[in-house]
Amino acid sequence: MTDTWGGYRSRLVETLRQQGIRDLAVLRAVGETPRHLFVPEAFRNRAYDDSALPIGHGQTISQPSTQAAYLEALQLQGPERVLEIGTGSGYQTALLSFLVDTVVSIERIGVLADQARAALSRAGVKNVSVVVADGTLGWRPQAPYDAILVAAASPDIPGPLVEQLAEGGRLVLPLDTGEGQQLVRVRKGPGGPTTDVIGPANFVPLLGRHGFSEDE
């Protein structure tokens, strides 16, 4: 690592390791991804803290340890096509771009999508397309997906996302049942989808047709 932020990134990787992240590819992605390019100027000095930070429009870039645990849960191998819902700053999109072949990322707020595209391009990321749309509908043009991750909490599992999963695919999303959020993983097996709970979660709401209503 030659840039001045390298030492901070190594420390963040160490923190994640201590928190139990074991997937070497995920740790390597965190070690290589310039998070400072994805946070607003004003928070740049905290870019490599293990904390969530505001990115404007009422949204946040999630805590790195949360994102790493999330990526670990997707059990990515490399040659996959992945759909991400909730681009936000684009940081998690950049981590994904290190881990798999193709990433499609959907964001409902146009300004955030523009900023994320600019940051991804500065970070030299090429295998990602950012789309402005309602992610609760998925993105049919490039379906099916080997993995889908949703970075915002939903009242239930949006049907189109399960439909657009490939056979054997995994969908990870925070469910907000009204009594706290739980991160859940859906696997699309030969006998139909099965669901398991990964642990507690804390995400902004997923707003859209199959999420929370946009005027709530």
Catalytic site residues? 62
d(CA 131, CA 106): 5
Instruction: Map tokens 């949703």 to a residue.
Output: 150
Task: Identify the CA nearest to 38 among candidates 157, 141, 161, 128.
Answer: 128
To ligand SAH, the closest distance from the beta carbon of 57 in angstroms equals 7
To ligand SAH, the closest distance from the beta carbon of 164 in angstroms equals 14
- For ligand SAH, which is the closer residue by CB, 2 or 139? 139
Residue 89 makes CB contacts below 8 A (sequence gap 6+) with 38, 39, 55, 61, 112, 115, 116, 119
Query: Angle at which helices 91-99 and 24-32 pack, to 10 degrees?
Result: 130
To ligand SAH, the closest distance from the beta carbon of 154 in angstroms equals 9
Task: DSSP letter for 205, please.
Answer: B
Task: Identify the CA nearest to 60 among candidates 112, 138, 135.
Answer: 112
- For ligand SAH, which is the closer residue by CB, 177 or 194? 177
- For ligand SAH, which is the closer residue by CB, 12 or 151? 151
- For ligand SAH, which is the closer residue by CB, 167 or 216? 216
Site residues for ligand SAH per CB under 6 A: 59-62, 85-86, 88-89, 91-92, 106-109, 112, 134-136, 151-152, 204, 206-208, 211
To ligand SAH, the closest distance from the beta carbon of 90 in angstroms equals 6
